[in-house]
């Protein structure tokens, strides 16, 4: 899933959804939502996209390049990443990025922790310094990085470091926050992504409980919409019925993908959801309860 900005010079500008994402093309892609100013809605096939719109698209990995070209998102893959914070999760992220041949720089304020990280990380450049200090950020040329990730222990420090990186010109900034009420603030500050360990832990618990159809959820657009991962339970209203004919989704929702074993596909009218299938859906906040009801089995 990716959010695309419609630029005035992109191929997508002024075109209908049905023309941008034809349903007979395989592997298919699907527009989940359009944000235009303060309005957020699930588009129909005859709706058009306009300059400045934010379009949320779900697509198979193999279609990403083609879809990005429609919106002129053709920048080269990220090569350099700066991580603020030296905790366990930050260390593991650095190790993962090293294995993918990325240039990694990690800024940590505690000197002893820097020494410990230097023994574990092979190709990461470890900097002893304060990621909220403008002079440190300038000296380490953070502005030249493709991605900045703030993973310090305090939400306020992460927000400050992320905001500085954003103002210095880093295109992609991600911060970790624990307080749920900070999530809308992150978006207003122009920071693209906020990751909450508490939300991730809650999602994991939901998955382990197994009694409810919701496996995980992610908030979008300041909480006005959600992307929900649902398990189709036996005897639920959505199971073994043809989409668009025998079962219709509530207004303000759309089914973006079905996971069946090793197969992942964008559903079309006439497709059938089978028991235990995982479904990825987009829903406005007002329609979440009606959506989950379709996947909940009878007691």
Q: What is the pLDDT of residue 147?
A: 93
89 and 149 assigned to the same domain: yes
Poorest-pLDDT segment among 54-63, 76-85, 145-154:
54-63
Residue 30 maps to a domain? yes
What are the φ/ψ torsions at residue 108 (nearest 5 degrees)?
-135, 135
Q: What is the pLDDT of residue 72?
A: 74
Round the average pLDDT of the chain to a whole number and report it.
85
Residue 202 maps to a domain? no
- The CATH number given to whatever domain includes residue 263 is 3.30.70.1450
Residue 180 maps to a domain? yes
Q: What is the pLDDT of residue 28?
A: 73
Q: What is the pLDDT of residue 63?
A: 73
Cis peptide before 27 (omega within 30 of 0): yes
pLDDT band at 222 (very low <50, low <70, confident <90, very high): low
Residue 94 has pLDDT above 90, yes or no: yes
- 3-class SS string, 125-193: EEEECCCCCHHHHHHCCHHHCCEEEECCCCHHHHHHHHHHHHHCCCCEEEEECCCHHHHHHHHHCCCCE
Question: Which residue from 30, 60, 8, 44 is spatially nearest to 265, judged by alpha carbons?
Answer: 60
Q: What is the pLDDT of residue 212?
A: 63
Residue 169 has pLDDT above 60, yes or no: yes
Helix H or strand E segment including 36: strand 30-36
Q: Under 8 Å CB-to-CB from 242, ≥6 apart: which residues?
A: 269, 270, 271, 272
**Over the stretch 133-166, which tens digit does the pLDDT of each residue have?**
999 999 999 999 999 999 998 888 988 898 899 8
Residue 205 has pLDDT above 70, yes or no: no
Poorest-pLDDT segment among 11-20, 45-54, 211-220:
211-220
Q: Under 8 Å CB-to-CB from 12, ≥6 apart: which residues?
A: 4, 6, 20, 49, 55, 70, 71
Q: What is the pLDDT of residue 149?
A: 94
As to burial, measured by CB atoms within 10 angstroms (0-12 exposed, 13-18 middle, 19+ buried), residue 235 is: exposed
Domain residues for the domain of 51 are: 2-70
Q: What is the pLDDT of residue 130?
A: 93
Q: Under 8 Å CB-to-CB from 224, ≥6 apart: which residues?
A: 40, 284, 285
109 and 176 assigned to the same domain: yes
Taking residues 53-64, report their average pLDDT: 83
Provide the 8-state DSSP code for 27: S
- Total domains present in the chain: 3
Residue 283 maps to a domain? yes
174 and 84 assigned to the same domain: yes
Q: What is the pLDDT of residue 181?
A: 66
**Pairing outcome for strands 103-108 and 80-84:** parallel
226 and 172 assigned to the same domain: no
Residue 23 has pLDDT above 90, yes or no: no
26 and 103 assigned to the same domain: no
178 and 273 assigned to the same domain: no
Residue 245 has pLDDT above 80, yes or no: yes
pLDDT band at 180 (very low <50, low <70, confident <90, very high): low
Residue 204 maps to a domain? no
116 and 184 assigned to the same domain: yes
Q: What is the pLDDT of residue 297?
A: 80
231 alpha-carbon distance from chain centroid: 20
**Over the stretch 103-139, which tens digit does the pLDDT of each residue have?**
999 999 999 999 999 999 999 999 999 999 999 999 9
Long-range own/partner contacts, residues 138-144 (CB < 8 A, 24 or more apart): 138/168, 140/82, 140/105, 140/107, 142/82, 142/105, 142/168, 142/170, 143/168, 143/169, 143/170, 144/80
Q: What is the pLDDT of residue 30?
A: 87
Q: What is the pLDDT of residue 137?
A: 92
Q: What is the pLDDT of residue 184?
A: 65
56 and 86 assigned to the same domain: no
Q: What is the pLDDT of residue 60?
A: 80
Question: Which residue from 127, 134, 135, 133 is spatially nearest to 82, judged by alpha carbons?
Answer: 127
- The CATH number given to whatever domain includes residue 161 is 3.40.50.720
Residue 252 maps to a domain? yes
Task: Identify the domain boundary among 171, 195, 219.
Answer: 195
Q: What is the pLDDT of residue 25?
A: 67
Question: Which residue from 183, 195, 179, 186 is spatially nearest to 162, judged by alpha carbons?
Answer: 186
Task: Identify the domain boundary among 141, 172, 195.
Answer: 195
Residue 49 maps to a domain? yes
């Amino acid at each position: 899933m990716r959010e695309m900005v419609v630029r005035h010079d992109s191929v997508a500008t002024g075109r209908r959804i049905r023309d941008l994402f034809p349903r007979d093309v395989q592997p298919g892609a699907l527009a989940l939502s359009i944000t235009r100013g303060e309005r957020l809605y699930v588009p129909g096939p005859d709706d058009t996209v306009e300059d400045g719109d934010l379009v949320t698209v779900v697509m198979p990995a193999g279609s990403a390049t083609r879809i990005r070209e429609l919106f002129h998102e053709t920048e080269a893959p990220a090569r350099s990443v700066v991580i603020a914070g030296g905790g366990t999760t930050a260390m593991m992220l650095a190790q993962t990025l090293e294995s993918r041949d990325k240039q990694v720089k990690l800024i940590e304020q505690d000197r002893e922790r820097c020494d410990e990280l230097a023994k574990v990380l092979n190709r990461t450049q470890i900097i002893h310094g304060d990621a909220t200090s403008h002079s440190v950020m300038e000296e380490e040329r953070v502005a030249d990085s493709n991605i900045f990730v703030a993973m310090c222990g305090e939400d306020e420090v992460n927000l400050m470091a992320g905001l500085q990186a954003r103002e210095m010109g880093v295109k992609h900034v991600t911060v970790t926050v624990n307080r749920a009420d900070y999530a809308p603030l992150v978006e207003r500050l122009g920071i693209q992504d906020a990751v909450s360990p508490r939300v991730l832990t809650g999602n994991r618990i939901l998955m382990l409980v197994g009694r409810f159809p919701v496996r995980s959820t992610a908030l979008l657009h300041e909480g006005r919409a959600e992307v929900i991962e649902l398990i189709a339970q036996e005897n639920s209203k959505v199971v073994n019925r043809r989409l668009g004919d025998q079962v219709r989704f509530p207004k303000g929702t759309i089914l973006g993908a079905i996971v069946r074993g090793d197969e992942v596909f964008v559903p079309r009218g006439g497709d059938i959801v089978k028991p235990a299938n995982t479904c990825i859906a987009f829903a406005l906040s007002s329609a979440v309860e009606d959506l989950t009801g379709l996947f909940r089995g009878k007691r």
